[in-house]
Amino acid sequence: MKKLSLLAWIFTIISGLNSFAQIADKAEDISPLLIGEKIPDITLLSTAGKQETLATITGGKPSILLFYRGGWCPFCNKHLAEIETIQDKILELGYQLIAISPDAPPKLIASGEKNKLKYGLYSDGNGAVAQAMGIAFKASERSLGMLSEYSAGQNTGFLPVPSVFVVNPDGVIAFEYINPDYKVRISAKLLLAVLENLK
């Protein structure tokens, strides 16, 4: 019986490692975490270049994790700016907003200033969080140089599918919006309706 328990434990660990290292071949092939699953506690970099775990960043508060491709993406900039228009209402509902991309801290700062963002931007340059969330996929050849530049050499050729995860204080996913078509994002109006409905 102990042998079976040990084998089951080893299988669980191996499965966890496999899902952590996941980078899909195409955006349509991703396998994201699902509603009801807990987000991983992995380290990101703040705009100040400080290492912080996702648990520390969320601080046990209801949070919105907004994954975007980078400050070089016009669709991402437009979406970041649109979500900024409901930032005050998001805070009133008791949520905090955290945006995550492969961009290095200096590029995050530039995006924040360009789009006049008041919410936190964090760097997932090595893709650890995107992979663990199951939203990372291989970038096209033409993107590699730019991705390396924006991530300060950390990006090994992946992109996150633009995604929004709403998590409860325990880090459990309560809602998600994921679309492999990077041109299609959840609107600020719809996100606000979702948050109001979750309260």
CATH value at residue 117: 3.40.30.10
Q: Quick one: average pLDDT of 113-142?
A: 95
Short-list 81, 151, 150, CA closest to 119 = 81
The domain in which residue 33 lies consists of 2-198
Residues whose CB is less than 8 angstroms from the CB of residue 70 and which lie 6 or more positions away in sequence, other chains included: 76, 101, 102, 103, 107, 147, 150, 151
Amino acid at 152: A
pLDDT digits (tens, 9 = 90+) for 18-71: 344 589 999 999 999 999 999 999 999 999 999 999 999 999 999 999 999 999
Q: Quick one: average pLDDT of 135-155?
A: 91
Count of domains in the chain?
1
User: Is residue 95 predicted with pLDDT exceeding 60?
Assistant: yes
Give the whole-angstrom CA distance, residue 117 versus residue 114.
Answer: 8
Cα dihedral value 116, 68, 44, 144, nearest 10: -120
Which residue, chain included where needed, has tokens 């590029």? 107
* Confidence band of 138 (pLDDT split at 50, 70, 90): very high
User: Is residue 13 predicted with pLDDT exceeding 90?
Assistant: no
Give the whole-angstrom CA distance, residue 49 versus residue 104.
Answer: 8
pLDDT digits (tens, 9 = 90+) for 151-189: 999 998 999 999 999 999 999 999 999 999 999 999 999
